[in-house]
Amino acid sequence: MGDFTLELNDDQKGVRDWIHGFAADVMRPAAAEWDEREETPWPVIQEAAKIGLYSMDFYAQAFFDPTGLGIPVAMEELFWGDAGIGLSIVGTTLAAVGVLANGTEEQIGTWVPQMFGTPDDVKVAAFCSSEPDAGSDVSAMRTRAVYDEAKDEWVINGTKTWATNGGIANVHIVVAVVDPELGARGQASFIVPPGTPGLSQGQKFKKHGIRASHTAEVVLEDVRVPGSCLLGGKERLDERLARAREKQRNGGERIKNAAMATFEASRPAVGAQAVGIARAAYEVALDYAKTRVQFGRPIIDNQGIAFTLADMRTRIDAARLLVWRASWMATAGKPFTAAEGSMSKLYAGETAKWVTANAMQILGGNGFTREYPVERMHRDAAIYTIFEGTSEIQRLVIARTISGLPIR
């Protein structure tokens, strides 16, 4: 009988405990302050960079963990610490994944290091896909990129929204339409280098949760980038567009665009973030229930409280297993034949909302105050059924995948 285990190996446990220590000692004490300030916690990011946690090398090592668990383990611990600060630390990775998934080796080597900067001069990056009229419906994207063959430059115009680190990033990755007739198939991703004229920050959003993470519009007005900034290169793009036109003429299978490839790769990691938030709220509620005395006994002695905590723990563990399965499948090269990546994000996001809401209920009036962290955790959890594909979109992806039908 072959060996099978769900236990982390010693190296993975060491990394988990190292990140947990940073989350407990650095992130948690700062969480309430940066949530109130609604600003990017640069000092915390710099502390992460100094110990090597915020770096290309760390995420590369985690990404190439042969079991696939390096990233989800890291994400869970960081977001156990605090979701807003956690997203400020890991927000750059979505742009990095965009380059890793679609870029050439030269582009990866040139641009990914510039996304992180150095411990003495930390930088962040932004992935810009959503638009005011094109969130879940990527086919409605209006940002255009036109090739200027004489100068070997792409000219980009449009407005992006909901961009983590948008406008403050050193490097922006922008998804734009290059062939409007092909809809979502006619899109490509572009690197916008630091200091490029025409790129500016639009509205900065004041959010319900994850308030320590910067979210803003990105405005692109006649932004010119060199031909070398097209992710994957012109030759590969031309080949892909030719195939898409052929498929369009003949009907046939859908071709995944650059934005969807990025989100598909990141969904289990986002699910792991939600697991971290849920676990943090559960631990607060469990501790409170064991120490809070009402009618002469701890409130956990009441089945109504104890059963809720049992359901919390069960759902958290189930969510983690879905995340780990999807992460392992992606690393092992196994196709998501039942949209397992979407499953993991869907269930973990819904679990985070449910667990944090019930944690507030267990704490009663205290749970509704900012003296206890579950109020903030509940606000942070709300985004996990919305961003990177709403729960409804995840269900649509799953339904289409298991049925083989174009369900709308």
- Please say whether the beta carbons of 164 and 213 come within 8 A: yes
- Which of 149, 239, 388, 392 is labelled catalytic? 388
Give yes or no: 388 in active site: yes
Place of tokens 């309430």: 32
Among the listed residues 153, 155, 129, the one whose alpha carbon sits nearest the alpha carbon of residue 142: 129
E-strand stretches of 120-186: 121-122, 125-128, 144-148, 153-164, 171-177
Rounded distance between C-alpha atoms, residue 338 and residue 21, angstroms: 36
Rounded distance between C-alpha atoms, residue 299 and residue 364, angstroms: 11
Amino acid in position 51? I
The secondary structure of 183-250 as a DSSP string is GGGGEEEEEE-TT-TTEEEEEEP--SS-TTS-EEEEEEEEEEEEGGGBTT-HHHHHHHHHHHHHHHHH
Among the listed residues 88, 89, 86, 83, the one whose alpha carbon sits nearest the alpha carbon of residue 356: 83
Identify the bridge partners of residue 199 per DSSP, sorted by sequence position.
220
Identify the bridge partners of residue 392 per DSSP, sorted by sequence position.
none
The secondary structure of 375-391 as a DSSP string is HHHHHHHGGGGTTTS-H
**Active site positions, annotated:** 388
